[in-house]
Structure formats: C-alpha cells, structure tokens
Amino acid sequence: MNPYNLQKFKPIGIALLCLFGLASCNKSGDSKKENGGVKEMLGLNTVAATETDSLYIRDYISQHKQFKEHEDLIYLFYGDRDYRLGWFKGSDLVAESEKLLSTLDNASQEGLDPKEYKVVAIDEMISQYNELGRKDSARLELQQQIDIALTATYFNYASDFYRGRIDPRNVKQVQWGVRNNKIKLHKALQTILRERESTYPYYEFEALHKGYSDLRDALQKYRELEEKGGWAKVELGNRKMLVKGDTAAAVVSLRQRLNLGTQINAKDPAMRKFDDKLEAQVKAFQELHGIVPDGKVGGNTLRTMNVPVEDRIQQIMMNMERWRWIPKRLVPKSLDQKYIWVNIPEYKLYVYEDPSNSPEAEREYKKTMEMNVIVGKTMHSTPIFSDRMEYVVLAPYWNVPNSIVEKEIAPGIMREPGYLDRQNMEVVTKERNPKQVDPGSIDWSSVTEKNFPYMVRQRPGPKNSLGTMKFLFPNEHAVYLHDTPTGSLFSQTQRGFSHGCVRLERPMDLAKYVLKDMPEWNESRIEETINGGEEVWITLPKKVQVYLVYFTSWVDEDGNVHFRDDIYGHDKRLEQELFS
C-alpha cells in the first residue's frame, strides 16, 4: 500500500486498534469467538486478491492469443503498480470497469466492431464472481482473471481507438509519413483508474481531435440514412444534363436526392421544374464535393450524386482512421503554437494558431489563414508527411531534380540548342559554391537521373518555376511550399499540376505571417529583396510545424460534411486494409 492509501485509511486503522484492543481485554473463554465476530464485522474473512504476478499474467495471455499483441503494455501497466490489481478496490470492481464495458458495447459509433474486443466473456466472469461467496477461495483466481482481462481488453480497444486499426508505418502501401502518434496507453489507463492526472480526455474514453469527433457525428447521420434506404440514383433518361429551366421527370428524382427525408409530391408539376431554389441546392452540393459550382447536373456531378451511401460511410470511417494517426500533440511544446495544414485532395492550405498558454488538450487552434494550392500530378504525387519549416528563401534558384533533368531538360536541349537560355537556366557543379559548367561539354543523350554529376538550376526572375519565394522544411522528399508564375491555374477546381511540391496562391501572405516576429522583414523589404534578383535565405527564429495530409472527407465549421475524390488512390489502398 502506498503512503497515500495509508493516509486515506488512518481513521480505519485507529478503529481497528480500538476494536482489537477491546477484544484482547476480554478474558472469557469466548475470546476467539469474539475475535471472529470482530473479523466478520470488518470483513476480514473475505477472500480478496490484491495483486497478481508476471508468471500468472504470462500464463493467462498464453491461453488468450488475442491479448498477445499488447503483452508489453500489460506488463508495463502492472509493473508500474508492483503488480497490484487495477480494477478492484478490495473485493469490489471499480466503476470504471462498467464504463469500459459500456464503451466496448458502443464501439460501432467509432467505426469499430464491438465483437473484435470481446475476446473473453467479461460480463459472465463478473456475474460468476458476484455469485461466489465472499469467503470462496475460487474468487481469488477469478478476480485476477477479470483484472487482467479488463486491462488487456482496454489495450486492444484503446490501441485501435487512439492509434488506429492499422499502423501506417508497417503498411507500405498506405504511404503515410506524418510523425508518429506516441500515445502511452498504459499511462492513459492509469488516468482512467484515477491514479494519474492528464490534460487529455482519457477518462471519458474520448477522442483527441475535433476533426475525428465531427466525422464520428457524421457517421451516425449517414448510418441513419442507410437504415432508411439511403438514396435512389438520379436517372436522367435520354438527357445528358439537367440545367435550370428544364422540366422533366428526372427533376423529381434530383429534388428527392437533394432533399432527403422530405416528402416530394411527384404529381405536382412544380416538382418537375428545375427552378432557382433547386439550382442553389445543386451548387451547394457541388461545393461540398469539390466540383465547379455551375448548377448543372451531368457528368461528374451526376456520378458523385450517385455514389451509394454505403461508400460514403466507408469513406468517413477511413478518414476517422487517419485522424487516429495524427499526433495527440499537434505542435511540440518547443514550438510556437501554430501549424500549417495542407490537405492534398482539397487543394487547400490552412494556418491554425492558438496563442494561449492553456494545456494542449484544451487548446482551440483557430484558423487564421487559408488559400488555394496546387499539388502534384498523379504521376508526381505530393507525399504525405510532417516536418518543421525553417527557412524562407526570397528570389530563389530552382534546383531542378535529376528526374526532371532526364525526362524534360535533356530532351529539350537536344531538340533546341538555346533551350537553357530560353528557360533562364544554367548548369553548375554540386558544391557549396557552385561553378558554372559549359552545357556543350555534356553528352545529354546519355544523361540519366542517377548518372548526372552536375546540377541544372533556374536563375531567379519572372520565369522561375518557384516564383518569387519558397518555404523550406528540409525533408527526404525535397518537397516544399513555393510561389508560381502560373497563377491562372488556381482558378481550376482540380489542381494537380506540380511535380510534387505545393504551389501557393498567396505566398506573400504566408511570408508576412511566418516572418511577423522579424519586423525588419516587412512587405516592402521582402519585395525589394525579390526585385534585387539575388537569392536570400531567411532563418526563422522559431520553426513552424507543417502537415501535408490526405483527407477525402471532413466536417467544416458550419457542420457540413465534405467529400473529395481519391486523387492518388490512397483511399482505395486503405479500404483494402480496413474492409477486405
């Protein structure tokens, strides 16, 4: 028993001394009977296990292989408590056990299968335990079994709930390089059992991110739609498209699709008319699905409307899984509490900030900026990872990757001798202070990505592919955020045009934001430096957390559920892992 427990039970200890003192003063021949009565009154004849041991745990796990995966966590939990039981006080189960079992029963609300966590019939074990007499020695072993079963079951569930059903680091095809979610589940369990304080809502068995909780609420709504039959396909008949002003039977089915749960009188002529209100609903649908909001129904809009509710449910569940992979602490303590979030399928960048000093779990990161971005083409997909921005580079050189040198630059030079000059490019050595190399001295027909010993770079200027600035968070992918001279592409709805880097719609806004703690770098000086045409590196006083993520479904601030196309096929691969 630890000192806190001794302090807690001091009055009981005094009472025990008094009672036993009275009993010892009894000189009659019935002293043993009197002592027995005192023990009976105090419950000291009750058989109750107070601890277990590593050998017993090992034997128990060997009989239940489904607990084997988290064996290390089980030993950590019991080792930290000198193998004292966790779910009992004396011979009685603590209330937290009921909360755990109730959570397991409702696991489907989290997109999880309750049957996965019912390795042993804990409810039956508890009933059997309660039926045994308090003096029955069989209770001792059953008590240990219940305690270990509850602990192991918690780890099975909590691992899926907090860290994900699959570990993206161990599943290559998932392609997720965001920093690890390093949640310590044995510490979380200590919090649940009220033995440790935490700013995170472990005791409530609650999620760590609002993005997850919002999708969980959406999941319930879509499941209710599924129970009611989902939605019928919109059939256009002989038409290729429906537009405002059309009158047709197909308009009725369109109206039904966009007004789920509302009774539509198909015989009412007004319901067959594609009016202003229906056009507004179509545009709202298109906005929520990343489609050009032209109010016309056909092609991609029709295809998207006819995606079955079952598919949308799976899509929501897959994105809930991705939220489980996001670190519980979005921004490390050592950094300013701000982060840049690029959602690749949405073609959007957001900046979130919380200047308060509140605990991490209570922080409310507010959106302070958003802008459109251009991401990689399917063949040059932008990787999913996280890192820390360290530098802003003004009037940058573009160091052309060797893969592009082989596939684009070398063929261009062979077609046109003046290609490099026209692109404002030069060939230099790969060293700290590069020296120029005569491009005529190179056999461009033999150049490959792996054998090219030099570097092709594009000089600063209006033709530079990186535009006026770039934002570096050094990483193995050589990916960064940057300006672009082709601003017209931001008007496109589908913006996959780059070789993997992320192009920014308003780079000056981001530059002013990340440099705001360096007042000497105001907008005027930034522009002056860019116009000078000489590359300048600025080291940020504090690194900024950056996430490049892949969410094809999310809920916005107004509660609207968004869906996007699986532009790189990541959903398809994750679907195979989760549902096949």
**What are the catalytic residues?**
482, 501
Task: Give the angle subtended at the CA of 149 by the CAs of 85 and 45, to the nearest 5°.
Answer: 45
Which helix (H) or strand (E) element contains residue 402?
helix 402-404
Name the phi and psi angles at 562, rounded to 5: -105, 145
User: What is the total residue count of the chain?
Assistant: 580
**Closest Cα partner for 368 from 508, 509, 502, 542?**
509
Q: Is 472 left (phi over 0), alpha (psi -120 to 50) or beta?
A: beta
- At 228 the three-state DSSP class reads coil
How many Cβ atoms sit within 10 Å of the Cβ of residue 570?
21
* Residues 370, 341 contacting (CB under 8 angstroms): no
- Sequence-separated contacts (24+) of 222-230 with Cβ below 8 Å: 222/309, 222/312, 222/313, 222/316, 222/561, 223/313, 225/260, 225/309, 226/309, 226/310, 226/313, 228/261, 230/308, 230/309, 230/310
> Could you give the strand order of the β-sheet that contains 398-399, starting from the edge strand earlier in sequence?
398-399, 455-458, 425-428, 436-437
| Interhelix angle 138-158/122-131, nearest 10 degrees | 160
Cα–Cα nearest to 546, from 127, 223, 179, 77: 179
CA-nearest of 514, 477, 549 to 351 is 514
Of 118, 126, 104, the closest CA to residue 66 belongs to 118
Exposure letters 223-250 (e unless 16+ CB within 10 A, then b): bebeeeeebeebebeeeeebeeebebeb
CA distances from 172 to 175, 265, 289, 477 (A): 6, 52, 29, 16
Q: What are phi and psi of 341, to 5 degrees?
A: -125, 115
List the one residue out of 501, 509, 494 whose CA is nearest residue 342: 501
Cβ(523)–Cβ(508) under 8 Å?
yes
Would you list the DSSP string of 300-368?
HHHHHHTS-HHHHHHHHHHHHHHHHHS-SSSS-TTS-SEEEEEEGGGTEEEEEE--S---GGG--PEEE
- First-to-last C-alpha distance (Å) of the chain: 49
Structural contact between residues 397 and 459, judged by C-beta atoms closer than 8 angstroms = yes
